[in-house]
C-alpha cells in the first residue's frame, strides 16, 4: 500500500554540484519541490529565460552561480550548465525507488509543436530532431539548445527524445523544448509506489 507521503510530489530530494574548469566555474543546487523557481544567473539572458520555463513547469527549484568564458562564446557555459544540471538531477532522484520513471508530451507553443519523452533508464541518450529556422535567437546560437540537452541527458543518465513536429519561429521551438521537458520531468520523478520501476530491480 502506498502511503500518503509517498503519493506527494514534493520530497527532500536534492542534488548539489560544483564544477571548476579553465572555462567555467559553476555551483548549483537543485531541489525537487512544488514551486519552480530560479535563483541566480548563468550570465546568459536567453539561457536564464529557458531555465525559468523549465523550472516553472517541472516544479524544481534551482540555485545557481556561474562564471564562464562568455568573452569567447556561450558554448562552454551552456554545455557545462547542462552537464551540472543533469548530474544534480541524478543525485536528487537517487535509486529511483517508487518513481513513475517514464513520461511524454506533445507540447504546443503557438505554431511550434515538440514531442518530448523521457525515461530514467540509467542509460544516457539524447535523440533530438530539431530544425531551427534561424541560426541565432538574439545573440544565442540555436545549435546550443541541442548542446544543452545532450549534456543534460548524459549526466542525468536518462533517455531524452525531442522531436519537432512543427515550428516556424526559433524562439518558440526552443521554448517548447524547455517547457516540454519540464512537464515530463515533473511527472517522471513523481513518487507513486515503493519499488524500483524496472523488472531488473535496478535502474
What would the pLDDT profile of 99-132 be if each residue is shown by its tens digit? 999 999 999 999 999 999 999 999 999 999 999 9
> Which band of pLDDT confidence, cut at 50, 70 and 90, is reported for residue 152?
very high
> Which band of pLDDT confidence, cut at 50, 70 and 90, is reported for residue 193?
very high
What's the gap between Cα 192 and its chain centre? 21
- State the average pLDDT for the chain: 94
pTM: 0.94
Q: Are 96 and 203 in contact (CB under 8 A)?
A: yes
**Is it the case that residue 1 has pLDDT exceeding 50?**
no
pLDDT at 33: 82
The dihedral region occupied by 158, where left means phi > 0, alpha psi between -120 and 50, and beta the remainder, is beta
Averaged pLDDT, 74-80: 98
What is the set of domains in the chain, with CATH numbers?
4-188 (3.30.230.40)
Question: What's the grid cell of residue 92?
Answer: 536528487
Q: Are 88 and 30 in contact (CB under 8 A)?
A: yes
pLDDT at 201: 83
Q: What percent of the chain has pLDDT over 70?
A: 94
pLDDT in tens, 42-51: 999 999 999 9
Amino acid at each position: 500500500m502506498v502511503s500518503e507521503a509517498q503519493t506527494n510530489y514534493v520530497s527532500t530530494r536534492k542534488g548539489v554540484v560544483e564544477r571548476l574548469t579553465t572555462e567555467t566555474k559553476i555551483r548549483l543546487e537543485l531541489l525537487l519541490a512544488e514551486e519552480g523557481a530560479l535563483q541566480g544567473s548563468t550570465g546568459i539572458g536567453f539561457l536564464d529565460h529557458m531555465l525559468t520555463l523549465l523550472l516553472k513547469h517541472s516544479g524544481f527549484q534551482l540555485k545557481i552561480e556561474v562564471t564562464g568564458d562568455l568573452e569567447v562564446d556561450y558554448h562552454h557555459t551552456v554545455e557545462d550548465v547542462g552537464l551540472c544540471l543533469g548530474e544534480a538531477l541524478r543525485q536528487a532522484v537517487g535509486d529511483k525507488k517508487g518513481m513513475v520513471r517514464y513520461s511524454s508530451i506533445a507540447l504546443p507553443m503557438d505554431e511550434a509543436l515538440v514531442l518530448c519523452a523521457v525515461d530514467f533508464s540509467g542509460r544516457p541518450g539524447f535523440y533530438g530532431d530539431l530544425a531551427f529556422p534561424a541560426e541565432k535567437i538574439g545573440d544565442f546560437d540555436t545549435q546550443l539548445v541541442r548542446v544543452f540537452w545532450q549534456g543534460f541527458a548524459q549526466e542525468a543518465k536518462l533517455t531524452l527524445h525531442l522531436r519537432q513536429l512543427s515550428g516556424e519561429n526559433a524562439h518558440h521551438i526552443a521554448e517548447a523544448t524547455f517547457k516540454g521537458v519540464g512537464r515530463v520531468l515533473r511527472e517522471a520523478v513523481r513518487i507513486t509506489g515503493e519499488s524500483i520501476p524496472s523488472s531488473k530491480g535496478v535502474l
